[in-house]
Structure 1
Amino acid sequence: MKYEGKKAVVTGGTHGIGRAVVEALLDGGAEVVLTGRNERTIEAARTELAGRPAHVVRSDAASLADIAALGDLVADTFGTVDLVFVNHGYAETGPIGSVTEQVYDRMLDVNAKGAFFTAQRLTPLVADGGSMVFTSAVLDGMGWPDVTVATMAKAAVRALAQALAAELLPRGIRVNTVSPGFTLTPTMGFATMTEADQAANLEAGNALTPMGRHARPEEIAAAVLFLAFEATFSTGTVLAADGGLGHVEKT
Structure 2
Amino acid sequence: MNLKDKVAYITGGTKGIGLGVAQTLLDVGMRVAISGRSEASVDQGLKSLKSDKVLGIVSDVCKIADEQKAVNGILEKWGQLDIVLANAGVGNFAAIDEMTDEQWHQMIDTNLNGVFHTLKASVDALKRSKGYYMTLASLAGTNFFANGAGYNASKFGVVGFTQAAMLDLRKYDIKVTTIMPGSVATHFNNNVPDDSDAWKIQPEDIGQLVLDLLKMHPRTLPSKIEVRPTRPDKK
Task: Indicate whether the TM-score tops 0.5.
Answer: yes
Q: What is the DSSP-based 3-state SS (H/G/I as helix, E as strand, rest coil) of the residue aligned with 2:97?
A: helix
- Residue aligning to 2:164: 163
Which stretch shifts more, 94-103 or 212-221? 212-221
**Stretches of 4+ aligned residues off by more than 3 angstroms:** 48-51, 231-236
Q: Which amino acid aligns with 1:243?
A: P
CA 117–194 in structure 1, closer or farther in 2 if over 3 Å, else same:
closer
C-alpha contact (below 8 Å) 1:128/1:171 kept by paired residues: no
Q: Distance in 2 between matches of 1:236 and 1:184?
A: 24
Q: Tell me the alpha carbon deviations over residues 170-206 of structure 1, each in whole angstroms, 9 at most, x when there is no partner.
A: 211110011111010122xx2xx376xx89xx97xx8
Aligned length: 231
The answer for unaligned runs of 5 or more in structure 2 is: none
3-state SS, counterpart of residue 14 of structure 1: coil
Instruction: Output aligned runs, 1:142-181, within 5 Å.
Output: 142-181=143-182
- 8 Å CA contact 1:165–1:235 kept in 2: the answer is no
Q: Is the 8 A contact 1:176 1:234 kept in 2?
A: no
1:138 aligns with 2:166: no
Q: Aligned partners of 1:162 and 1:13: how far apart in 2?
A: 23
Counterpart residue identity of residue 33, structure 1 = A
Question: What amino acid is the match of 1:69?
Answer: K
Cα distance between partner residues in 2 of 1:85 and 1:224: 9
Alignment of 1:21-100 (within 5 A): 21-100=21-100
User: Which whole-Å CA distance do the structure 1 matches of 2:207 and 2:51 have between them?
Assistant: 22
Aligned 8 A contact 2:25 2:207 in 1: no
With the length of structure 1 as denominator, give the TM-score of the two structures. Answer: 0.83
CA RMSD of aligned residues (A): 2.5
What secondary structure sits across from 2:130 in the alignment?
Answer: strand
The alpha carbon displacement at 1:223 in A equals 1.3
TM-score (norm 2): 0.89
Q: Which amino acid aligns with 1:71?
A: V
Q: Secondary structure of 2:83's match?
A: strand
Distance 2:156 2:214 in 1: 21
- 1:161, 1:175 within 8 Å by CA — same for their partners in 2? yes
Partner of 2:208: 222
Structure 1 unmatched runs, 5+ = 207-211
Q: Which moved more, 1:178-187 or 1:235-244?
A: 235-244
Q: Is the 8 A contact 2:137 2:180 kept in 1?
A: yes
Q: AA paired with 1:21?
A: V
Q: Deviations over 1:137-189 (max 9, x none)?
A: 011111211111111101111111111111112211110011111010122xx
For structure 1, which segment, 149-158 or 30-39, has the greater mean C-alpha deviation from structure 2 after superposition? 30-39
Q: Distance in 2 between matches of 1:148 and 1:240?
A: 20
2:10 pairs with 1:10: yes
Q: Quickly say closer, same or farther: Cα 1:241–1:136, change in 2 above 3 A.
A: same
Structure 2 Cα separation of the partners of residues 71 and 21 of structure 1: 18
